[in-house]
Amino acid sequence: MTKDISWLGENEAGRNWDEVFALFYQKGRGEIFPNELKFWRDLCAGRENVLEIGAGSGFIAEALTDIGIKQLTLIEPEPANLRFLDKVAGKSAQGTRVTVAPVVFQKYSAPAGMLQDVIYMSWDNLVMFKDLESRTGLFKKAAGELKPGGRFAFHISSPAWNRKVYEKLRTPKVFDMDLDQYGKAGILYKIDHVRDNVYNKHIVITLPSGEEHRYLLPTEAISMEEVSGHARAFGLELEKDHADYSGSPASADSDDHVLVYKKRG
Ligand SMILES: C[S@@+](CC[C@H](N)C(=O)[O-])C[C@H]1O[C@@H](n2cnc3c(N)ncnc32)[C@H](O)[C@@H]1O
């Protein structure tokens, strides 16, 4: 059975494949970019309210529980990820309160009067918002949830970089991964080109029992032009455009953009 991993739903009888995927993601995540966690810690240290859109299994959130944030809100709609986020909530120190909101960001309502100092999304999360309309809605809502002077920070990979990765992964990459209670699983990763800037990423997980599940992640590479247009429309000014998490300046040819926008006011 094929499933779109950004819209996980029911599971076929006998196996919770969402949980298998959550564990696969948790084990494979690691620090994808050098200095990624340092970047988020520096941006969020000492802030009153910080919110993550799509916290997943809490890879970044876990690194933000001891830097003096007062309220850390984690938005994550996928039930299989919530047990990882509950562990993050249990680790908070230095007075940081961690709240998990198990909804999509579009449906999130903040407690009355609460605005954010920082809203962030990790590596390439913008693709979770699948069409122009939902991306426009995302920027509008993020800007509306920020304090004046608050920051909206996220990463995008360029359309050119996506083309390069597609060239490499049109031939499947196959490897093993130890998935704890599920045993040593076979993983197959492959990308198909659908149309200009749109790709289908396939991940097939085969458990030692022979059970197999195919996950599908349709992905549209999003340009800086589009992002700049949304930011302008909702009063967000570009503060940083880096080519990586260490702070190298980005150019039109950069594979990655680590972006920080500041709400006017
Ligand atoms: C690529 S994962 C990133 C997880 C985590 N932030 C990290 O860096 O490891 C994206 C996450 O966004 C969540 N997600 C998908 N659509 C969303 C939406 N509309 N609002 C909030 N989160 C969403 C998914 O369930 C998934 O866990």
- Domain of 195, CATH number, reads 2.20.25
Do 88 and 172 lie in a common domain? no
Q: Return the top range by mean pLDDT from 22-26, 52-56, 92-96, 120-124.
A: 52-56
In 3D space, the residue among 195, 263, 259 whose CA is nearest the CA of residue 224 turns out to be 259
Q: What is the per-residue pLDDT across 140-176, written as a single tens digit (0 to 9) for each?
A: 999 999 999 999 999 999 999 999 999 999 999 999 9
How high is the pLDDT of residue 90? 82
pLDDT tens-digit profile of 56-104? 999 999 999 999 999 999 999 999 999 899 989 887 776 899 999 999 9
The verdict on the CB of residue 54 being under 6 Å from ligand 1 is yes
Tell whether 35 and 108 lie within a shared domain. Answer: yes
Indicate if 250 and 171 belong to the same structural domain.
Answer: no
Task: Please state the atom number of ligand 1 nearest to the C-alpha of residue 134.
Answer: 19
Q: Are 203 and 218 in contact (CB under 8 A)?
A: no
Boundary-marking domain end, from 220, 239, 254 = 220
CA 88 from centroid of its chain's CA atoms: 16
pLDDT of residue 32: 80
Same domain, 58 and 95: yes
- Do residues 42 and 10 share a domain? no
Does the beta carbon of 130 sit less than 6 angstroms from any atom of ligand 1?
A: no
Quick one: 97 and 176 in the same domain? no
Give the chain's domain count.
2
148 part of a folded domain:
yes
Q: Is the pLDDT of residue 222 over 80?
A: yes
In a domain? residue 21: no
Same domain, 141 and 10: no
Q: Which atom of ligand 1 is nearest to the CA of 8?
A: 25
Per-residue pLDDT reduced to its tens digit, 168-219: 999 999 999 999 999 999 999 999 999 988 999 999 999 999 999 999 988 8
Co-location of 135 and 249 in the same domain: yes
The answer on 206 and 138 residing in a single domain is no
Write down the pLDDT at residue 8. 47
Specify the pLDDT at position 9.
Answer: 46
Asked if 89 and 179 sit in the same domain, the reply is no
Residue 104 Cβ contacting ligand 1 at under 6 Å? yes
55 lines ligand 1 (CB under 6 A): yes
> Whose alpha carbon is nearest atom 25 of ligand 1?
78
Residue 241 included in any domain: yes
Q: Return the higher-pLDDT residue of 12 and 194.
A: 194
Calculate the average pLDDT of the chain. Answer: 91
User: Residue 114 and residue 252: Cα distance in Å, rounded?
Assistant: 37
**Do 147 and 119 belong together in one domain?**
yes
- Ligand 1 centroid from CA 128, angstroms: 7
76 Cα: distance to centroid of ligand 1 (angstroms): 6
Place 123 in a pLDDT band, splitting at 50, 70 and 90. Answer: confident
Residue 26 lies in a domain: no
Task: Tell whether 25 is covered by a domain.
Answer: no
**Alpha helices, DSSP H, located in 6-157:** 17-29, 36-44, 79-90, 132-145
* pLDDT given at position 1: 46
Q: Give percent above pLDDT 70 in the chain.
A: 94
Other Cβ atoms closer than 10 A to 196: 9
Predicted pLDDT of residue 153:
98
Range of the domain at 95: 31-158+222-263
- Is the shortest distance between the CB of 41 and ligand 1 below 6 Å? no
Asked, for residue 22, whether it belongs to a domain, the answer is no
Kindly report the backbone phi and psi dihedral angles of residue 210, in degrees, each rounded to the nearest multiple of 5, phi listed first.
95, -10
Would 182 be classed as within a structural domain? yes
Specify whether 191 is located in the same domain as 117.
Answer: no
Instruction: Supply the CATH number for residue 74's domain.
Output: 3.40.50.150
- 258, part of any domain: yes
